[in-house]
A and B are shown apart, each in its own frame.
Chain A
């Protein structure tokens, strides 16, 4: 079995207010859709927002090492699909 894909939804204050509040549903959707191929969790601040004015690109989600800016549920699911195709 290959390594699991890891999805980290940033629930730091900036990301939360800028929209990750609405990404919390990923924590339910992802296991239902991909089973144990993908590991998803809400994590404390990833530190991506504090650089310069990068808060405006929040919310951030990390799929393995790839950073998704202005993340939406759809963007994250697409990123997971692409990863699965690659592997």
Chain B
């Protein structure tokens, strides 16, 4: 599985975040922010990626704009970073859409199409000509040629060519998007249609030029902490596989950032498990053929925007974040809550939930540790006040949610889990089919994860997928099974 492949674009994004955080903490936020592109590419420095130093700086400037939490599309090119830094300090709440495209960084990839390369041998068999249902391929000067007017991009010729001489040119963001929400606009650059976008973050991870950014809320969070307010961190289960330290050290490290308390969202996951298991039993007793989980924010956006027909089969149980935030606000009504997230989709969920004030992703959290020179592996250990179960902590992996629900089901109502390990065009077609037929032929409990690998494969994770899985598994192993917890105590 190619999840979390090493990328230089991540290095750039993280470097900017570190510099932004240090700017905020310095005595001159505006000026230090304005200087970020120049500090990163000073006069006479190497130009590692683009045509010239000016282009590099322009792109770094735009990356900083996204780091300040603004949309590139709506920000005038002539506005100075210092002005924007100031504006970020005045912002009352995060912007509605969490993603933004940097036209400066976008390559303007060649349009997606099927292309015959020089490897074509002009063979006698001509399987490409014979296979094409649309009559789009002819032989000219001894080589296959595709008529773009007739070609439907089906890719049959690609599959049958004995020389693998025909290839599909893809636009990475378009090809990664499961719902056709990002496409090249009239100017050739990528553009997001926010009516269709489900904020799954696949384009962020896919773009080799790093042209799609999350709008960061880091300044808002830093500001809240600086103001002396009580700010509480809620850590999604996936973070326990993300940094080189133990969960107890991470607890301590997060306190060092200035948070007044830290909760595990696995605590809320235990409530989700309890409610979802009860709901599963009830639905099946009332004759339902299947139920899908409801904890993935990307999936919930998909349902709302593209798949309303599956709604009756989706569990009404709330997400682990929902329950955790509810508990936190009950215990600390005056607190500002910040969710530490592996993905961009949770930013949308947070916007719709008044109990969640801000979201930081793991790249931002990592950058924050760097900015403050906090070595997480040398931090002391402190415990979470409420211990979550093994199953709750395992929500971050594909299969983890289904396994948790199964752990609380009575023997007479067994679940047959079906795992949707990543939303893509095919898995969305499958879900549509289950909804239309009212039955899923291969199981009755469908766990849906928008990302391949579950939350550990989220677009904003920092650890290598395999290493993260190992680390999380160790934590799960040392945790208490949910069955051994007293039901009334779950989540409290």
Contacts and interface: CB of A to CB of B under 8 A. Distances in A.
Contact of B467 (A21, A44, A56): A21
Size bracket, chain A contacts: 20 to 34
Contacts of B374: 13
A24 B467 contact: yes
A55 B11 contact: no
A16 B11 contact: no
Contacts of A13: 243-245, 366, 369-370, 374-377
Nearest to B373: A50
Contacts of A11: 244, 377
Consensus secondary structure, chain A interface: loop
Contact of A17 (B4, B370, B466): B370
Interface in B345-378: 363, 366-367, 369-370, 373-378
A19 B376 CA distance: 16
A61 B484 CA distance: 45
Interface residues of B, number: 29
A28 B39 CA distance: 37
Nearest to A73: B6
B49 to A, nearest CB: 13
Contacts of B6: 19, 22, 72-73
A9 to B, nearest CB: 11
A70 B378 contact: no
Contacts of B15: 18, 55-56
Interface string B363-400: 10011011001111110000000000000000000000
A22 B11 contact: no
Q: Which of A12, A49, A73 has the most CB of B within 10 A?
A: A12
Given A11-B244, A12-B377, A56-B40, A24 B464 contact: yes
Interface string A1-41: 00000000001111011110110110000000000000000
A80 B375 CA distance: 28
Contacts of A68: none
A70 to B, nearest CB: 7
Contacts of B366: 13, 16-17
B4 to A, nearest CB: 7
Given A11-B244, A56-B40, A17 B462 contact: yes
Interface string B9-53: 011001100100000000000000000000110000000000000
A11 B245 CA distance: 10
A25 B464 contact: yes
B272 interface: no
B317 interface: no
Contacts of A73: 6
Nearest to B362: A17
7 nearest CB pairs, A to B: A17-B366, A22-B6, A21-B463, A14-B370, A16-B244, A11-B244, A13-B376
Interface of A: 11-14, 16-19, 21-22, 24-25, 44-45, 49-50, 53, 55-56, 70, 72-73
Interface of B: 4-6, 10-11, 14-15, 18, 39-40, 243-245, 363, 366-367, 369-370, 373-378, 462-464, 466-467
20 contacts: A12-B244, A13-B245, A13-B370, A14-B370, A14-B373, A16-B244, A16-B462, A17-B366, A17-B369, A18-B14, A19-B6, A21-B463, A22-B6, A24-B467, A44-B375, A44-B377, A53-B39, A56-B40, A70-B11, A72-B6
